[in-house]
Amino acid sequence: MSKALGNHILVEFMNCDPHIMNDVAAIERDMVDAAKKAEATVINSTFHHFSPYGVSGVVVIQESHLAIHTWPEYGYAAVDVFTCGDMNSWIAFDHLKECFKSKSYSAIEIKRGSVNLLTRNDFDITTMRSKASEWVNPDFYTRNVWFTDKDESQALSLRFTGEVFFDVQSPFQRVRILESYKYGKMLALDDMVMTTEKDEFHYHEMISHPGMYMHPNPKNILVIGGGDGGTIREVLRHTSVETVTMVEIDGAVIDACKEHLPQIASSFDHPKLTLIVGDGIAFAKEAAPNTYDLILVDGSDPVGPAEGLFSTEFYQNCFNALKEDGILVAQGESPKFNEKAFKELNFTLQEIFGTDKAPVSLFFVPTYPTGMWSFQYGLKGNVGQNQVPEKPVIDSFVSENGLRYYNHGLQTASFALPNFVADLVKK
Ligand code: SPD
């Protein structure tokens, strides 16, 4: 056989474990290890996860590259290993076959750059060769592992370190704690970003304080969802509070956050808290009428276990469970990213609480797709969004508690809507 510049193996890994095929961190680790086992020198790796599923990535090695694209729904990975020099690509193949738990596979090997067919030109590489020999490969390689939260036409990507601190498939969802470079550790549920260490305060301060200050004397609070603990942490800052009941369906979320996000999950031992691990939708249905001053619905997006948190029946039950001047605050989705759910929720609240009793508060979360997010309110009885304490009262609460997002201005200003958002919720 004539001499070739490179060797390329194209691999079909079939009947692989679908969970592994959707796990960007595991695939990146396995591909890098495969390269190292085959005695390649790893330069860097770039991997992306695509929600709801699929991983693409490449490991650049001094001897060329390893690349992959996966289809978890078919338990399939297309892999190619391109090398030059003496590296044995089949060592990488064997390693990946084991890691992916592939039950059937095939591969073809192609020689690339047959020197018989190529004509060498007079490009002078002597100086480059001496430069190249001076280059020392660093002991580390650069990792580019990306977590992507997306719909069919837009996305938010965060680069993460590849560290996976928690990864449990609960009966409801996949619960993970990963680490992003920019925003620190983050809680992801089924591939959707829920909260991160560095920007959680945007969400948790804004779900809690505007409603708490709109109410003249909030004593009994119900939180549905909110398993990371950030919402109860904020609510419990208010001295008027006598009881907080929190109902979270997924105990795995609480466990994950207590262990890995302790600054968010800091109030689970508070004496005023009653924590129930159970179904918040059923809880609202069975709740006694006129019980709560505030109900905060800190749920995830309207897929999986949170779907029922967007139904008319659920909000009617919340309305009944609120006291006469009670306030409902619900995670309201994004008017840009999930316009349909945003609108439908507001129409539901208008129907139950009244047309002018369902205001929307907007705030920014850099780690949610589009960054523009909302809380939607249902105001029962005589409470109103403009009935708020004097500025000095809120100012001292903000400074005593070291709040970083909420302030007196936002108490009313967050309800001012851009025209296109106001139009979305006009009946
Ligand atoms: N796409 C994210 C929707 C927000 C879900 N809730 C976040 C939980 C924070 N406590």
Q: Which of 145, 159, 143, 188 is nearest to 52 (CA)?
A: 188
Specify the pLDDT at position 301.
84
When the pLDDT of each residue in the chain is averaged and rounded to a whole number, the result is: 93
Specify the pLDDT at position 308.
76
Number of H helices, E strands in the chain: 13, 18
Specify the pLDDT at position 136.
63
Specify the pLDDT at position 302.
79
Specify the pLDDT at position 162.
83
Tell me the β-bridge partners of 294: 221, 327
Task: Please tell me the distance from the alpha carbon of residue 324 to that of residue 281, in angstroms, as a whole number.
Answer: 21
Q: Whose CA is nearest to atom 8 of ligand 1?
A: 194
C-beta of 250 in contact with ligand 1 (< 6 A): no
pLDDT classification of 303: cutoffs 50, 70, 90? confident
Mean pLDDT of 13-38: 94
298 is catalytic: yes
Res. 262: pLDDT tops 90: yes
Task: Please tell me the distance from the alpha carbon of residue 394 to that of residue 11, in angstroms, as a whole number.
Answer: 63
Q: Which of 153, 126, 134, 157 is nearest to 144 (CA)?
A: 157
Beta strands in 151-291 (DSSP E): 155-169, 174-180, 184-189, 192-196, 220-225, 243-248, 273-277
Mean pLDDT of 124-129: 67
Task: Please tell me the distance from the alpha carbon of residue 55 to that of residue 47, in angstroms, as a whole number.
Answer: 7
H/E element, 207 = helix 200-214
Q: Whose CA is nearest to atom 2 of ligand 1?
A: 194
Mutation choice for ligand 1 from 195, 370, 373, CB with most ligand atoms inside 8 A: 195
Res. 264: pLDDT tops 70: yes
Specify the pLDDT at position 345.
96
Of all atoms in ligand 1, which is nearest to the CA of residue 306? 5
Task: Please tell me the distance from the alpha carbon of residue 281 to that of residue 314, in angstroms, as a whole number.
Answer: 6
C-beta of 203 in contact with ligand 1 (< 6 A): yes
Res. 351: pLDDT tops 60: yes
The percentage of residues in the chain with a pLDDT greater than 70, rounded to a whole number, is 95
Task: Please tell me the distance from the alpha carbon of residue 290 to that of residue 300, in angstroms, as a whole number.
Answer: 26
Residues 375, 329 contacting (CB under 8 angstroms): yes
With H, G, I as helix, E, B as strand and everything else as coil, classify residue 346.
helix
**Secondary structure, 3-state, 272-329:** CEEEEECCHHHHHHHCCCCCEEEEEEECCCCCHHHHHHHCHHHHHHHHHHEEEEEEEE
H/E element, 133 = helix 126-134
Specify the pLDDT at position 147.
85
Check residue 250 and report its DSSP letter.
-
Pairing of strands 142-150, 360-364: unpaired
Residues 150, 156 contacting (CB under 8 angstroms): yes
Please give the residue that has the higher pLDDT: either 71 or 85. Answer: 71
Q: Which of 51, 100, 62 is nearest to 79 (CA)?
A: 100
Ranges 52-66, 88-102, 142-156, 397-411: which has the least confidence: 142-156
Res. 2: pLDDT tops 70: no
DSSP one-letter string for 16-39 = --HHHHT-HHHHHHHHHHHHHHTT
Of all atoms in ligand 1, which is nearest to the CA of residue 337? 1
Mind listing the pLDDT tens digit for each residue in 268-285?
999 999 999 999 999 999
Mind listing the pLDDT tens digit for each residue in 159-215?
988 889 999 999 999 999 999 999 999 999 988 899 999 999 999 999 999 999 999
Specify the pLDDT at position 190.
87
Specify the pLDDT at position 407.
98
Please give the residue that has the higher pLDDT: either 119 or 259. Answer: 259
C-beta of 254 in contact with ligand 1 (< 6 A): no
Q: Which of 373, 374, 372, 366 is nearest to 157 (CA)?
A: 366
Res. 125: pLDDT tops 70: no
Mean pLDDT of 5-10: 93
Q: Whose CA is nearest to atom 6 of ligand 1?
A: 300
Check residue 370 and report its DSSP letter.
T
> Which listed residue (30, 191, 199, 298) is catalytic?
298
Mind listing the pLDDT tens digit for each residue in 368-426?
999 999 999 999 999 988 888 999 999 999 999 999 999 999 999 999 999 999 999 99
Task: Give me ligand 1 centre to Cα 419, in Å.
Answer: 25
The percentage of residues in the chain with a pLDDT greater than 90, rounded to a whole number, is 78
Mean pLDDT of 317-332: 97
Task: Give me ligand 1 centre to Cα 194, in Å.
Answer: 4
C-beta of 300 in contact with ligand 1 (< 6 A): yes
pLDDT classification of 17: cutoffs 50, 70, 90? very high
